[in-house]
Structure 1
Amino acid sequence: MKKLLLTAAIAVFAMMGTQAQEGLKLGAHVGLPIGDVDESSSLNIGVDVAYHWNIAEGFDLGVTTGYTTFLAKEYDLPGGGKIKGDDAGFIPIAASARYSFNEEWFVGADLGYALATQDGADGGVYYQPKVGYKFSSVDVFAFYKGISIKQTYDTPIGTIENTISAGSVGVGAAYRF
């Protein structure tokens, strides 16, 4: 399933390459982990690729993907030494909407699915509302990112389901082509 979704995302972006590049955006983001990952992660960083089509005056609709990772914290061991957990990486594949209030200010939201990049890890529903400011060719924005991951464990007494939240609050910038 992961390979099928990733192949579909690559195909969508490849088709976009044959059209005018006016809605293409390449960016990066950095954030502070919140939710269930704040105990085990120290930082959220990543890169983003998006393409938007203008649907109506001030309203754009598009697709987005990229890579985001939650960097694991390092812990001191009793008796000396340190141990670091595993980073948690995701590839979001999402629909993206954006409304511009004027030539500078906008609000937006991405909604889709985030594929986990670690073997055996679960992906989850991905959502990212944002507010930003447009400069001549760069967008700067603040965001809240959430990935809602449903985990299922088989135990001797039955199946246990648990939902965890990998989230962050941060800032990002995207270059508009």
Structure 2
Amino acid sequence: MKKIILSAIAVMAFGFANAQDGHFKVGAHTGVVLGDLKDSYSVNLGVDVAYLWNVADKFSVGATTGYTTYFAKTYTFYNGMTSVDIKGDNAGFIPVAGTAQYSITDNLFVGADLGYAIYAGSGSGDGGVLYQPKFGYQNDKIEVFASYKGISDDATLSSLNIGFNYKF
């Protein structure tokens, strides 16, 4: 985990040193929960911040972070004549990742984030390896994308997301 975090910090530092050829992105995403834990969580919401710089024609790399949370479902159990509502803890994460993006055309792109998601939710929990392939539409100021986000440790917490970024 230390190597992943240190690598991400190095990528961000290199990015800031080469700021003249790059851009910031700030955005938000939402998605439906899939995979191993879909019965425990209902929706994924989050905010994203990234810095990318151009390393080749149509290809950019950088670093990304933000906050993403998976909202726990509430279950109702009937015990004879009474019912009891039980709600689990939300699972919040701070991703620390490298990001890459390739522009297929002026308006279409593919990309991916790879790094570590630090657990920052209520209750007990663990972080895990973060991976997020993306496909989307872009212009000079905005991006709209679809992605699959996975956070893997002992189980995989994953979601199918749509998102929006504003570029500076």
TM-score range, shorter chain: 0.7 to 0.9
Give 1:81 shift: 3.8
Following superposition of structure 1 onto structure 2, how do residues 1-177 of structure 1 map, counting pairs within 5 Å?
A: 5=5, 9=9, 12=12, 16=16, 19-20=19-20, 22-78=22-78, 79-118=82-121, 120-149=124-153, 163-177=154-168
* Aligned mates of 1:58, 1:123 — CA distance in 2: 33
Q: Which runs of 5+ in 1 are unaligned?
A: 150-162
Runs of 5+ consecutive residues of structure 2 not aligned to the other structure: none
Q: Would you say the 8 A contact 1:53–1:60 is kept in 2? A: yes
Structure 2: distance between partners of 1:45 and 1:21:
30
- Identity over aligned pairs, percent: 49
Deviations 1:20-51 (A, max 9, x none): 48410001000101112201000000000001
TM-score by length of 1: 0.81
For residues 170 and 58 of structure 1, do their structure 2 counterparts lie closer, same or farther at Cα, with a shift above 3 Å needed?
Answer: same
State the 1:12 CA deviation: 3.8
Superposed CA RMSD in Å reads 2.5
How many residue pairs get matched?
161
CA distance in 2, matches of 1:100, 1:40: 36
CA distance in 2 between counterparts of 1:132 and 1:18 reads: 25
Q: Provide TM-score, normalisation by structure 2.
A: 0.86
